[in-house]
């Protein structure tokens, strides 16, 4: 074999070997991206479970925001009414909130939260939601401030010290239902427009030519 060809192969091999070493040493290229994606997937699959209970066993649901409180109660015919009134509760909105609370998962848990809950808007508590089951068990979630980067809302179980970050939608729905918990009125259907009757033409009247 020609010595120049042999030297050429050696140079190419050395260059390729050096490139592979550099990519591995500085973690450049697809390997770093693959590791990042794997980490993100792993984190997403490990969202902390906050509550888990049977939403069908809830017979009362309470919302608190500041000095305002709303309680709805399940009736014997499975309708929901605002406590202290004869008003039907906004069934679809309350049901959605109860179902989400019954299987609530947090985005993450706050590590080493300390004892000063005021920094999370949890002392005093900004707002709360509580589901009461038919056996008297109570599941209450306290909600505080939004995170500094607006990625969620600080929350904690009323009977535990752990602090979580949950989706802002919970707080948004709670605020809306505290303000107006009643079932929206059914829209009144518009009256049907009468169709004018066509009078029959007298017998023997010639049909007009178009």
Q: Tell me the residue ranges of DSSP E strands in 95-160.
A: 108-109, 127-133, 138-146, 153-157
Give the pLDDT band of residue 42 (cuts 50, 70, 90): very low
Tens-place pLDDT, residues 126-157: 999 999 999 999 999 999 999 998 889 999 99
Residues 6+ apart with CB under 8 A from 151: 107, 165
- Average model confidence (pLDDT) across the chain: 80
**Residue that the structure tokens 């699959």 belong to:** 45
User: Terminal CA-to-CA distance of the chain, rounded, Å?
Assistant: 102
Tens-place pLDDT, residues 85-105: 999 999 999 999 999 999 999
Q: Global pTM?
A: 0.68
């Amino acid at each position: 074999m020609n010595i120049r060809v042999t030297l050429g192969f050696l140079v190419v091999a050395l260059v390729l070997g050096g490139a592979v070493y550099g990519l591995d040493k500085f973690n450049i290229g697809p390997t770093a991206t693959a590791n990042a994606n794997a980490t993100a997937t792993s984190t997403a699959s490990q969202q902390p479970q906050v509550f888990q209970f049977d939403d069908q066993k809830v017979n009362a649901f309470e919302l608190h925001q500041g000095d305002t409180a709303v309680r709805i109660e399940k009736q014997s015919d499975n309708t929901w009414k605002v406590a202290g009134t004869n008003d039907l509760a906004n069934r679809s909105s309350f049901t959605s909130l109860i179902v989400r609370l019954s299987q609530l998962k947090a985005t993450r848990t706050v590590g080493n939260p300390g004892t000063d809950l005021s920094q999370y808007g949890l002392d005093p508590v900004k707002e709360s939601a509580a589901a009461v089951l038919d056996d008297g068990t109570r599941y209450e979630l306290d909600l505080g401030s939004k995170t500094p980067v607006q990625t969620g809302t600080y929350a904690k179980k009323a009977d535990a010290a752990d602090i979580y970050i949950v989706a802002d939608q919970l707080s948004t729905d709670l605020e809306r239902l505290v303000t107006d918990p009643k079932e929206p009125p059914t829209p009144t259907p518009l009256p049907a427009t009468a169709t004018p009757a066509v009078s029959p033409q007298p017998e023997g009247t010639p049909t007009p030519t178009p």
